[in-house]
Amino acid sequence: MHSIIYENPKSGERIRVKRGFNWLVLGFGPLWFLFKDMVLTGLIWLSVALVVGLFTAGIGGILVWLIASLFANGQAGGLCKQKFIS
């Protein structure tokens, strides 16, 4: 599995972010986002999953978490970029 390493130019801190599918998001859903300090993102994904699941008897909620699992690592990488720029 490939990963991207972000380095803070001021402090030299390095963070490795994996690319690809995230099994933890599929299994634990919004908890992964909360532990990664991505509270707003987790709440948005949770809201979308609840609304879609409500109209599709729960099947759509599972599909939303599959999609969230594909995009979660990229969103975590974007958060690293924002932290290192500021």
- pLDDT for res 43: 94
Per-residue pLDDT tens digits of the chain, which is 86 residues long: 588 887 778 888 887 878 888 898 999 988 999 998 889 999 999 999 999 999 999 899 999 999 999 998 888 877 777 777 66
- pLDDT for res 1: 58
- pLDDT for res 65: 93
Residue extents of the structural domains in the chain: 21-85
- CA 19 to chain centroid, in Å, comes to 11
Determine the Cα–Cα distance for residues 21 and 66; give it in Å rounded to an integer: 9
Closest CA to 60 of 71, 70, 45: 45
Q: What's the predicted TM-score (pTM) here?
A: 0.77
